[in-house]
Structure 1
Amino acid sequence: MIINHPLLGPRDATEFVYKGDACLIDRPDGLTDDADALHDYLYLRENPAGDHQELWYHEQGDRSWLVVTRNTLTHEISKVELARDVARTRGRSK
């Protein structure tokens, strides 16, 4: 599988480490009284069939974090973004 890194261009997936669902970017504040939000964040995960956003870490490269939109049925990658850009965009929409 080839991941088209937004800064470095096409890279083999073996350079990256899969780190889970991209919803991990939206970690709730563990110091608030909302225990349900933290519980859901830690223990509940979707298992979608189709397009899904995932976190990937470029371990054998520039050590960047990426959000990869990948079809879980075909493994086709439709979009690759820097995780920091996705986090900024999500922060503005809240």
Structure 2
Amino acid sequence: MPCAAARACPSFLDKSIHPHVLRHSCAMSLLQAGIDTTVIALWLGHAGVRSTDAYVHADMTIKEKALALNTPVTAQPGHYQPTDKALAFLDRL
């Protein structure tokens, strides 16, 4: 008999979801909610805060938000789009 999660989402039957995956998912959700990494480390039972560094490096949205906070007011919003000339230069490397 499938578990409750698989009854709600049958694609779970094809996946192997271990408790450690749930820990990582929870940690990423906490990080995205703005919870400090020291709190996450304590909650996960990590020996030190540096153990949570991997979560910070894995989340691109956190990096984008940090960059947005440091963007000069004169900069145009949006992502950098290299010119054809720049891309051609990079292709030649």
TM tier relative to shorter chain: under 0.3
Question: In proportion to residue count, which structure has more helix?
Answer: 2
TM-score, length of structure 1 as denominator length: 0.24
Larger Rg: 2
TM-score, length of structure 2 as denominator length: 0.24
Higher relative contact order (CA 8 A, sep 6+): 1
